[in-house]
């Protein structure tokens, strides 16, 4: 036992010594992560494992950092732009974490899949009688779509975007900085093929799949390729007129004999995809068979696998492969927001009003409201007549519709709301679901929660008999952290920050004394030789 | 022999243990606490008020906790009126040590009531656990108090900054008039930060003043003091003066024995009086030149004091380790090529925090952050880095949250 312990000790001790030895041959050794660290010698970079073995030889001008799939880029022959610290020129390749060269170092371009410029549309429903594009206001509408697409061929649904086209993600050439990570799953790459267009080299993109470590689209054919969708990659060879085909990863061939002229396409879903052309929107399968049903317009949801469709002035909802979820019978439907679909229908008096459906088309809220805003932090503002209220994602009223204005905090979930009970009246703080004022004293002005600090709202009160307003702050739980004694927002902000940093979370009488002392400028009028009375000291 | 080998193994193995801290957005670590005072020479009337107005705007450096008291500016009206003895006399006469201790315990000056909230917060203790252990007078609780004393209260400093304006330009009547206007702007701007000035600025006067301020230089003598706190002082305080509810007797006893608490004089440095670049100063805010010159000189003095007196050196957290090691310190803290920093791992054991060196790093000369005041406005190289990158000299297994300190 003694011998074993001694051997183990010597083994560990010996290991420790040799680890330091191999490091000495490098000018720099990075920090180990997943048992890999970059090394630098004579201005060249590589990677080693924890035993000091070079898994990526130290011959590259720059290297990246391994991404989540264990892939890293290398660059040979590139130069660094001093100002932006990005690399230009040189050739790129890819290694995996075991040191296998999975993409040869022979490509001039490497990129990432990014959303195109067209991807931020907004909606605005002015009144229940129809849409009013001229009044489109990006603040009061449904959330923008983060993925997927919108189509609009006749302007019946006006969306505030730059044009009516919308493309799926496309490769963008990026400039790496040393040790940048590459995109996670699909890595576009390309070579200059010798041709030029407008004096720029024409490049043909390919795609490398970081999960399977294989080239799924070779880079010698297509001008543009888009994010893979299952076994298919949308590709195009003509950029002056948009048209699409699908490249099948499994067979390495194009699905269709001819490109499909189109304005936009959707991802493939259950073997189907949507096409927009001059005639409308329709589904097509991989055999080129077109569905009988077509639509005038389709709007994709940002969060659910559901498309809102529009035809002959009626709205409905379908799945991304064309199955009907909600029949085409509504005057208006909006893409789901917090798993609720806003709709328009007649109320008890026969007037058109907004309400909510769930994702299966069942009614959650009857048609009661003249207008509805997007949900933010699971709350949405609603209006009945000229009074505003607030509902949650169950359709329940957090605040009833009896306020002339509600200041809904957009970025924070809190039970405290600032409201104006009357037009141009003072503001009050209300607690959700209680219909009760939190403080009886009104506020003249407010800066809502999160505007300056997380979970804090700054409020002002009018001093009796004076024009001055003094400033304090309240937290999201309704506690007054600083009473309204500060002379300006800046002063209150600074005081809040200082108190938080020092861990003072509750206000006391001593704090009030300290505050007034700090504003007594005479405390700084003493000479170095004087003894200063306690009246001028806070402690 | 067996036990020796087992201990050795544990030690060796721990060197290769890569514990990972989880971090919130802000990294919390123990900082020393600092109180700063300005001594303004009123015989330099032209700029004394301006300097004073700007000094109060200079924030406590991020590497320190704000331990400022209500009095932050003192005046002298003769040249060469300040020396070590006079400064020490002020510190003792006004019981600065007792006031800094009172601040540690959030002592209400009118009732004597104290609490440990600030100690718990700055010491990064779990508040509930701290209260429980201290209240039960357990061994761990005693150790936590001792730890708080050694690493927090004992690590409290006072800086007395004596500022001299050095500019040799002739001061004309026109400039004198402009200064009067500017005084109003600067003073009101300092006392009510952000509020609009009460007077409309004199544009012609400001133009003349800007020309004058382009040559603005200061010389600052900074004296460093450390709060004395040991077991004896702690015992006396806790026994005789500490109370968590108002106590008239203890309140009075503390007032009568303030002089029992002391500050220890450590040393002083003098700034070099270098010219500060006017670049980055907006034409409509020429007084910022005063702040820039003062703040940079004070930062330099703090950096020099740290170099000269290890007791005053601060620790800074490592915020990234991959792909390179980074820490949010830079030229303001005196980071320059060739300096070496030890990497410290903080560990808590039985209520006490200890710091162990696990490596050494040195700044990457091409990646030193210029975080001096207004470096961004100056468009200084490295001003946009956000942190300095470091190269490893020795050690490994670093992780975010470890601390570095210059050696």
For A58-82, what is each residue's pLDDT tens digit?
Answer: 999 999 999 999 999 999 999 988 7
Of B71, B77, B323, the CB nearest to A38: B323
Cβ of A528 within 8 Å of Cβ of B9? The answer is no
| Domain residue spans of chain B | 33-308, 315-406
CA dist B315 and A193 (Å) reads: 54
Residues 6+ apart with CB under 8 A from B102: A539, B109, B254
* Residue A292, Cβ density class (10 Å: 0-12 exposed, 13-18 middle, ≥19 buried): exposed
Residues 6+ apart with CB under 8 A from B32: B63, B64, B65, B155, B156, B157, B312, B314
For B43-86, what is each residue's pLDDT tens digit?
Answer: 776 678 888 888 888 888 888 999 999 999 999 988 777 899 99
Confidence grade of residue B39 (pLDDT, cut at 50, 70, 90): very high
Q: What share of chain A is helix, strand, coil (3-state, %, to 5)?
A: 10, 45, 45
Residues 6+ apart with CB under 8 A from B177: B202, B205
Residues of chain B with pLDDT > 90, as a percent, come to 42
Worst-scoring range by mean pLDDT, A118-122, A201-205, B109-113, B124-128? A118-122
| SS3 per residue for A124-135 | CCCECCECCHHH
CB B220 within 8 A of CB B161: yes
* Residue A51, Cβ density class (10 Å: 0-12 exposed, 13-18 middle, ≥19 buried): exposed
CA distances from B234 to A65, A358, B126, B250 (A): 51, 65, 21, 15
Per-residue pLDDT of chain A (539 residues; tens, 9 = 90+): 444 333 333 333 333 445 567 888 888 888 888 899 999 998 899 999 989 999 999 999 999 999 999 999 999 999 988 777 788 889 999 999 999 999 999 999 998 877 644 333 333 333 333 333 323 332 233 333 332 233 332 322 323 232 333 345 677 888 888 888 888 889 999 987 666 666 566 788 999 999 999 999 998 888 888 888 889 998 887 655 678 889 999 999 999 998 888 766 777 888 998 887 767 788 999 999 999 998 877 776 656 678 888 788 788 999 988 899 999 998 888 877 788 888 888 888 888 888 889 999 999 988 888 888 777 778 888 899 899 999 998 889 999 999 999 998 777 778 899 999 999 999 999 999 988 899 998 999 999 998 888 889 999 999 888 888 999 999 999 998 999 999 899 889 988 988 887 778 888 888 888 888 887 777 888 999 999 999 899 99
Check if the interface score ipTM surpasses 0.85: no
Of B15, B107, B322, the CB nearest to A33: B322
Instruction: Please give the residue that has the higher pLDDT: either B218 or B20.
Output: B218
Asked if the C-beta of A11 comes within 8 angstroms of chain B's C-beta atoms, the answer is no
**Do the domain assignments include residue A487?**
no
**Do the domain assignments include residue A501?**
no
Pull the structure tokens for residue A439.
């403080």
Q: What is the pLDDT of residue A86?
A: 86
Interface test with A, best of B18, B55, B70, B101 (most A CBs within 10 A): B70
Three-class secondary structure of residue B327 per DSSP: strand
**Can you give the residue range of the structural domain that contains A208?**
25-107+170-225
Neighbours of B285 (CB within 10 A): 15
pLDDT at B198 over 50: no
∠ CA A206-A211-A213, rounded to 5°:
55
Q: Tell me the β-bridge partners of B326.
A: B320, B389
Overall average pLDDT of the B140-148 stretch: 79
Asked if the C-beta of A6 comes within 8 angstroms of chain B's C-beta atoms, the answer is yes
Residue A84 Cα, gap to closest chain B Cα (Å): 11
Buried b (16+ CB within 10 A) or exposed e, B311-342: ebbbbbbbebbbbbbbbbbbbbbbbeeeeebb
Q: Tell me the β-bridge partners of B167.
A: none
The bridge status of strand B33-41 relative to strand B65-66 is: parallel
Cβ of A528 within 8 Å of Cβ of B86? The answer is yes
CA dist A20 and A74 (Å) reads: 26
Total-model pTM: 0.62
Cβ of A523 within 8 Å of Cβ of B70? The answer is yes
**Do the domain assignments include residue A362?**
no
CA dist B287 and B50 (Å) reads: 7
For B233-253, what is each residue's pLDDT tens digit?
Answer: 999 999 999 999 999 999 999
Pull the structure tokens for residue B395.
């050690």
Neighbours of A396 (CB within 10 A): 11
Three-class secondary structure of residue A344 per DSSP: strand
Nearest-Cα residue of chain B relative to residue A494: B193
CA distances from A490 to A467, A482, A495, A496, B374 (A): 18, 13, 8, 10, 20
**Do the domain assignments include residue A358?**
no
pLDDT at B185 over 80: no
Helix B173-191 × helix B45-55 angle, to 10°: 20
Q: Tell me the β-bridge partners of A308.
A: A299, A317
pLDDT at B407 over 80: yes
Q: What is the pLDDT of residue A302?
A: 57
pLDDT at B171 over 60: no
Q: What is the pLDDT of residue B149?
A: 80
Residues 6+ apart with CB under 8 A from B22: none
**Do the domain assignments include residue A286?**
no
CB B159 within 8 A of CB B302: yes
Asked if the C-beta of B103 comes within 8 angstroms of chain A's C-beta atoms, the answer is yes
CA dist B75 and A527 (Å) reads: 5
Buried b (16+ CB within 10 A) or exposed e, A251-288: eeebbeeebbebbbbbbbbeebbbbbbeebbbbbbeee
Overall average pLDDT of the B162-166 stretch: 83
């Amino acid at each position: 036992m003694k011998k074993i312990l001694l051997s183990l000790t010597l083994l560990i001790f010996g290991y420790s010594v040799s680890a330091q030895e191999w490091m000495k041959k490098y000018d720099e050794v990075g920090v180990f992560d997943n048992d890999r660290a970059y090394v630098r010698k004579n201005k060249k970079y590589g990677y080693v494992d924890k035993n000091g073995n070079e898994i990526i030889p130290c011959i590259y001008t720059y290297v990246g950092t391994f991404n989540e799939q264990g892939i890293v880029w290398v660059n040979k022959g590139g130069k660094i732009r001093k100002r932006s610290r990005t690399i230009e020129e040189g050739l790129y390749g890819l290694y995996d974490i075991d040191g296998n060269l999975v993409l040869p170092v022979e490509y001039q371009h490497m990129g990432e899949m990014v959303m195109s410029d067209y991807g931020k549309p907004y909606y605005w429903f002015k009144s229940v009688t129809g849409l009013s594009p001229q009044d489109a206001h990006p603040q009061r509408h449904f959330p923008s779509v983060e993925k997927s697409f919108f189509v609009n061929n006749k302007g019946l649904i006006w969306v505030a975007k730059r044009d009516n086209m919308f493309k799926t993600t496309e490769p963008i050439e990026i400039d790496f900085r040393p040790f940048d990570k590459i995109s996670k799953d699909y890595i576009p790459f390309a070579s200059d093929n010798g041709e030029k267009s407008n004096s720029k080299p024409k490049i043909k993109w390919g795609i490398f799949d970081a999960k399977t470590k294989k080239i799924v689209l070779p880079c010698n054919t297509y001008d543009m390729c888009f994010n893979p969708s299952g076994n298919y990659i949308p590709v195009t060879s003509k950029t002056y007129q948009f048209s699409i085909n699908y490249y099948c990863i499994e067979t390495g061939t194009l699905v269709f004999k001819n490109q499909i002229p189109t304005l936009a396409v959707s991802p493939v879903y259950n073997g189907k995809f949507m096409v927009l052309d001059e005639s409308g929107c329709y589904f097509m399968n991989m055999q080129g068979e077109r569905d009988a049903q077509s639509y005038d317009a389709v709007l994709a949801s940002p969060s659910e696998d559901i498309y809102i469709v529009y035809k002959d002035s009626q709205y409905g909802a379908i799945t991304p492969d064309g199955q009907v979820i909600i029949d085409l019978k509504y005057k208006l439907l909006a893409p789901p927001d917090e798993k609720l679909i806003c709709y328009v229908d007649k109320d008890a008096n026969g007037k058109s009003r907004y309400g909510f459906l769930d994702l299966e088309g069942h009614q959650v809220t009857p048609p009661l409201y003249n207008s509805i805003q997007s949900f933010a932090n699971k709350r949405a503002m609603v209006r009945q007549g000229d009074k505003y209220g607030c509902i949650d994602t169950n359709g329940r009223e957090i605040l009833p519709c009896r306020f002339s204005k509600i200041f809904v905090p957009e970025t924070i979930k809190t039970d405290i709301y600032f409201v104006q009970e009357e037009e141009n009246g003072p503001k009050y703080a209300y607690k959700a679901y209680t219909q009760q004022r939190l403080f009886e004293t009104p506020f003249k002005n407010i800066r809502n929660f999160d505007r300056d600090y997380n979970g804090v709202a700054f409020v002002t009160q009018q001093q009796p008999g004076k024009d001055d307003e003094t400033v304090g702050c309240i937290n999201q739980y309704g506690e007054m952290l600083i009473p309204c004694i500060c002379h300006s927002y800046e002063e209150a902000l600074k005081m809040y920050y200082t108190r938080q940093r020092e861990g003072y979370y509750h206000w006391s009488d001593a704090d009030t004394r300290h505050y007034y002392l700090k504003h007594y400028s005479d405390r700084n009028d003493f000479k170095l030789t004087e003894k200063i009375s306690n009246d001028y000291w806070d402690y | 022999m067996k036990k020796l080998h087992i201990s050795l193994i544990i030690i060796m193995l721990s060197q290769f243990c890569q514990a990972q801290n989880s971090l919130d957005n802000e990294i919390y670590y123990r900082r020393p606490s600092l109180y700063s005072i300005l001594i303004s020479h009123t015989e330099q009337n032209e700029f004394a008020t301006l300097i004073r107005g700007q000094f109060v705007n200079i924030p406590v450096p991020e590497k320190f906790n704000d331990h400022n008291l209500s009095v932050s500016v003192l005046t002298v009206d003769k040249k060469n009126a300040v020396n070590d003895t006079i400064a020490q006399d002020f510190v003792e006469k006004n019981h600065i040590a007792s006031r800094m201790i009172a601040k540690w315990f959030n002592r209400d000056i009118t009732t004597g009531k104290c609490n440990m909230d600030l100690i718990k917060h700055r010491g990064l203790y779990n508040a509930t656990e701290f209260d429980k252990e201290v209240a039960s007078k357990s061994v761990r609780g005693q150790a936590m108090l001792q730890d708080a004393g050694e690493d927090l209260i004992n690590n409290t400093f006072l800086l007395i900054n004596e500022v001299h304006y050095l500019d040799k330009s002739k001061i004309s009547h026109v400039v004198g008039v402009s200064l009067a206007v500017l005084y109003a702007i600067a003073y009101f701007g300092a006392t009510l930060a952000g509020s609009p000035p009460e007077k409309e600025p004199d544009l012609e006067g400001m133009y003349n003043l800007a020309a004058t301020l382009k040559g603005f230089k200061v010389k600052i003598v900074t004296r460093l003091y450390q709060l004395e706190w040991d077991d004896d002082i702690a015992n006396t305080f806790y026994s005789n003066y500490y109370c968590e509810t108002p106590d008239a007797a203890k309140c009075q006893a503390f007032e009568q024995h303030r002089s029992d608490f002391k500050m220890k004089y450590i040393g002083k440095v003098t700034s070099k009086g270098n010219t500060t670049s006017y670049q980055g100063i907006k034409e409509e805010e020429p007084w910022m030149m005063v702040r820039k010159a003062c703040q940079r000189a004070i930062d330099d003095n703090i950096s020099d004091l740290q170099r000269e007196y290890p007791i005053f050196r601060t620790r800074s957290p490592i915020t990234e380790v991959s792909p390179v090691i980074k820490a949010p310190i830079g030229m303001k803290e005196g980071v320059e090529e060739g300096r070496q920093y030890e990497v410290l791992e903080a560990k808590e054991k039985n209520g006490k925090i200890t710091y162990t060196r696990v490596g050494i790093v040195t700044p990457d000369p091409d990646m030193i952050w210029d975080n001096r005041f207004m470096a961004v406005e100056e468009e200084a190289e490295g001003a946009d880095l956000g942190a300095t990158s470091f190269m490893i000299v020795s050690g490994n297994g670093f992780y975010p949250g470890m601390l570095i300190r210059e050696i």
